[in-house]
Structure formats: structure tokens, C-alpha cells
Amino acid sequence: MAWIALTPLLIAVINASPAPGRGRLRAFVLGLIAGIVYFAGTVYWTGGVMAQYGGLSVPVAALIAGLLVAYLALFPAFFALTLHAATRTFGSRALLLAPALWTATEYGRLTIFGGFPWVLLGYSQVTVLPVAQLAAVTGVFGLSWLVAMVSAAAAHAALARDTRRWVPLAATLAGVAVIAVAGQSRLSDNRLTTAGRPLRVGLIQGNVQQDDKWAPALAGDIFNRYLRLTRQAVAQGAQLVIWPESATPFYFGPDPETETLRTLARESGVSMLIGSDQWERPRAGPPKIYNAAFMIGRDGSTGGVYRKVHLVPFGEFVPMKDVLFFAGPLVQAVSDFSPGSDVATLPIPDGSISTAICYEVVYPSLIRDGVLAGSELLTTITNDAWFGRSSAPWQHFAMASMRAIEEGRYLVRAANTGVSGMVDPYGRVRLASDLFVEGAWVVGARLLDDRTIYSRVGDLAAWISVALLVVAVLPLRAAGRRGRV
């Protein structure tokens, strides 16, 4: 459905009233309605999270979730408004700009106010592996462009009345076919699955319910559960063991449990990546709390620390606290974490890895920064217990899978309640755990140092889209000064 999802909106926008004021308003409203449907159907779970864990009443939680949906819907609304305005300069040829305009607004969702790049259009193809290989060249934004292009070509075929109406659609479908054939060839080559150096990774899923996570009476049982699962992974031959985000029911460092972890690493001879909150008291100012990941070496020493850079709004901090005065319980319930300064790679014997904590994995450039710094394996640790049995954990896992294709790296994921798993460098899911089960799985990954085109050029497709948006808007501004628009 994604390939033609934008076609009705495009046709409606092109057919909007030619009168400047009325046409612009109609196009904006059409885009807004499309955006509300889009995001109400995909981020609906935010209301339940804030009601259950943010201490808000259901009406207030629904209001805040509605405000989020309305904000995200502004981006499709701006897309529709810009496309309609472009038709006054370029006529029906403005449809050729539609993929770039759509992709530019998606990039806006990534960057404006810290970004919320959830379920971009290109993610719809993450399981269509021949097509998804395009991400190794263009990233997810190139896939968004491609999918939107099919909708635009279909809209042109529906609107045009000349004998050449099918030419753009035929050319676009031919392009998709060429991309799919090239992608299948990349899949068949499969060389990244035998390149590099093998590494057996143990993924620990403790299945700790969110309501139990910080209960003092359960802290000992939770810690012992993770120790038991870790020993199971070691017995299966794990060389690196990964715990989920904030897995430890204590602050890593001063607590005696930290020494237990160091002893376990020394006795088992494995490296351990541990998700744990970090408390730091600077010489001046109040103490700071970081959502962090610690690498414990085989000798029990701390080999490195990564502090989460992109914090989750309404989960780890509350943006615009003064404006959201009616969400007082949420402000009190949410921990006030501090962001880390930059991406850091973490050492393992014979290599280095990078990690993304929870929500960070939806930022392509952040994962790319880790690869540029020398990461040979992508890891991500998360606690998706907040989401319950909604579609959110599966959306999150799908978006993480796209990072493996973009960077040409194995990606391993440890989640508190699922989905834990492994994705190979071509996006093939080799393991995906069930939700809300306890388990320890050992997977065979590889440390790779090859670089994809995307890892070299980054989000060039998004920047080209932004440039085309500017090119499309400049004539409109000039026309507006002359009173034509």
C-alpha cells in the first residue's frame, strides 16, 4: 500500500481550487487530515504510555498524544501546501517535485526541535529486501523518495489527458525494477556474511515488567535473573554478552553489584555490554544522571562508557515544561536525564563496536557517526516495556533493521521485554524474539570494516530534497512579491 499511499492526496492537492487563498487553505487542510490519519494510526500508543507510566489521567494523556499527532501532521500539511503552490509555477509538472518535497519534510521531522523521525515512508520497504538494498546507497530517505515517486507517477497518470500520460509511470516502474534487480544481485553476492571476523554474541532479555523495574524489594531477584541468563549465554559460547537498556536495578559504579559483574566477566572470560544509569556529581552544580552503556572487559575493567546523546521526549525529559503546565504529574514522573556529548565506540578484543540506546537507533546519522569512528558491529539496547503489546516494539525493531542495511554491518539488539534479535548486513532478520518472554540467545555475528556508499556520503538524498524544496519555493516567493500568489 505504501507505493500508492500518497496518490489520493496528490490528486486532491493538484485539483484544489486555483484561487490563491482558498486553494492554499484547502491543500493545507488536506495534508493535515492525511497526516492525522498517518500518525494517529502509527503513534497511537503514546497516549497509553503517558497514562500508565506518566501519572496522567486518560483525558490529559489523550490530549498530549493528540498534540503530538497534530504536530507531526503539520509536516504532510506543509508538503501539500508547498506542492499546491508549486503547481501555480510549474503546472502539473510540479508532481515531479513531489518526492523531493515529501522527503524534505521527512528530514524536517528528523531535525526540527530535536526530531521525531518515527515510521518514515521508506521504512515500509525494510522487509522488501531487494528494494531495501537501495538504503546502502541513499539511506532510508532515498527509499522514501523512491516510494513517493511511484505515488507521484500514478497521480500523473490519473490526472493527465494526453497520450503520454503513462510515460512517467512506466519509467518509474522500470526504475524500481532496475533497483530491485540490483538489490537482488547484492543479496545473492552475500559476501558480507563471510567477510570480517566471527563473533558470538549473547543477547539477554530479562523480561522485567516496567512497574517492577525499580521496586527495591525486587532488585535482588532482577539482578540474579540477569546473572543467571548471562551464565547460560556463556555456556553456549558467547564471547560478548549484551544486557538491555537500564538493565541494572542500581547505578553502575559505587554499588557492590558492580564488583559482582566485574568478577563474572573475569571468571567467564567474556566482555559484557551493560545498560545502566550513571550518576555523576560534578565539582560545581547539581548532580547529573545519564542513560549509559558500560563495556566491561574480560579482565573486569571498564573498557569504555557511552552516554545516550538523543533523549526521549516525555520519557527522559519533558520539553516545554512551562507550556505543558497541565501535565504536572508527567513532569514529576519523568527522570530528568542529561544528554551525552558525542558518539563513542567501545572496545572489545580484536575490534570495536558502537551502541545506540533505545530511541537513538531511529537517527541514521547517529549510527553512521559510530561507523565513521571505527565501529565494526552495531548494537542497540532498549527497554520497550513501556509500549506494552502495541505495534511500537515491532516498529522500533524494523527501523533498527534499516540501520544494518545502510551501514553494511551486523546489528544485534537486546531488549528488556523484546524484541531482541540480530539482523545481517543485508537486512535479513536472523533472530527476533517474542515479546514478554525471558531468554538468552547466542547469535553468530561478524566484525566488518567495509564501508557502504551511504556510510561515505550520508543523507545526501535528504539534502538534495531540501535543496529542491528551496528551488521550488524561491519562484513562489518572488511571485508573491509581484502579487501573483
- Measure the CA dihedral 316/322/323/326, to 10°: 80
In this prediction, residue 312 carries a pLDDT of 82
For 2, 159, 171, 401, the CA distances from 133, given in Å and listed in that order, are 17, 32, 20, 12
Confidence of residue 142 (pLDDT cuts 50, 70, 90): very high
Q: What is the CA radius of gyration of the chain?
A: 24
**Does the pLDDT of residue 459 top 50, yes or no?**
yes
In this prediction, residue 91 carries a pLDDT of 80
Residues of the chain with CATH 3.60.110.10: 196-449
Confidence of residue 161 (pLDDT cuts 50, 70, 90): confident
**How many C-beta atoms lie closer than 10 Å to residue 211's C-beta?**
11
3-class DSSP assignment, residue 218: helix
Identify residue 444 by its one-letter amino acid code. Answer: G
**Does the pLDDT of residue 52 top 90, yes or no?**
no
In this prediction, residue 55 carries a pLDDT of 78
The answer to whether the pTM exceeds 0.85 is: yes
CATH number assigned to the domain with residue range 196-449, chosen from the 4 options 3.30.70.20, 3.20.20.140, 3.60.110.10, 3.40.640.10:
3.60.110.10
- The residue-averaged pLDDT of 7-16 equals 93
3-class DSSP assignment, residue 425: coil
Confidence of residue 322 (pLDDT cuts 50, 70, 90): low
In sequence order, what are the residues at sequence separation of 6 or more whose Cβ sits closer than 8 angstroms to the Cβ of residue 196?
A: 376, 446, 447, 448, 449, 450
Q: Which residues carry out catalysis?
A: 245, 308, 358
Q: What is the pLDDT of residues 116-128, one digit of tens each?
A: 999 999 999 999 9
Among 147-151, 311-315, 398-402, the minimum mean pLDDT is found in 311-315
In this prediction, residue 484 carries a pLDDT of 45
In this prediction, residue 485 carries a pLDDT of 42
In this prediction, residue 18 carries a pLDDT of 64
**Does the pLDDT of residue 483 top 50, yes or no?**
no
Q: In what order do the strands lie in the sheet with 302-307?
A: 302-307, 288-296, 271-280, 240-242, 197-205, 439-447
- The residue-averaged pLDDT of 152-175 equals 93
Q: What is the pLDDT of residues 274-288, one digit of tens each?
A: 999 998 888 777 889
For 68, 82, 115, 310, 412, the CA distances from 313, given in Å and listed in that order, are 11, 29, 10, 9, 25
Q: Which three cell numbers stand for residue 373?
A: 569512528
Residue 52's region, left for phi above 0, alpha for psi from -120 to 50, else beta, is alpha
Among 162-166, 207-211, 332-336, 342-346, the minimum mean pLDDT is found in 332-336
Q: What is the pLDDT of residues 59-112, one digit of tens each?
A: 989 998 999 999 999 999 999 999 998 887 788 888 999 999 999 999 999 999
- The residue-averaged pLDDT of 358-362 equals 96
Q: What is the pLDDT of residues 219-275, one digit of tens each?
A: 999 999 999 999 999 999 999 999 999 999 998 987 899 999 999 999 999 999 999
In this prediction, residue 248 carries a pLDDT of 92
In this prediction, residue 464 carries a pLDDT of 97
**Does the pLDDT of residue 335 top 70, yes or no?**
no
In this prediction, residue 163 carries a pLDDT of 82
Q: What is the pLDDT of residues 363-421, one digit of tens each?
A: 999 999 999 999 999 999 999 998 999 999 999 999 999 999 999 999 999 999 999 99
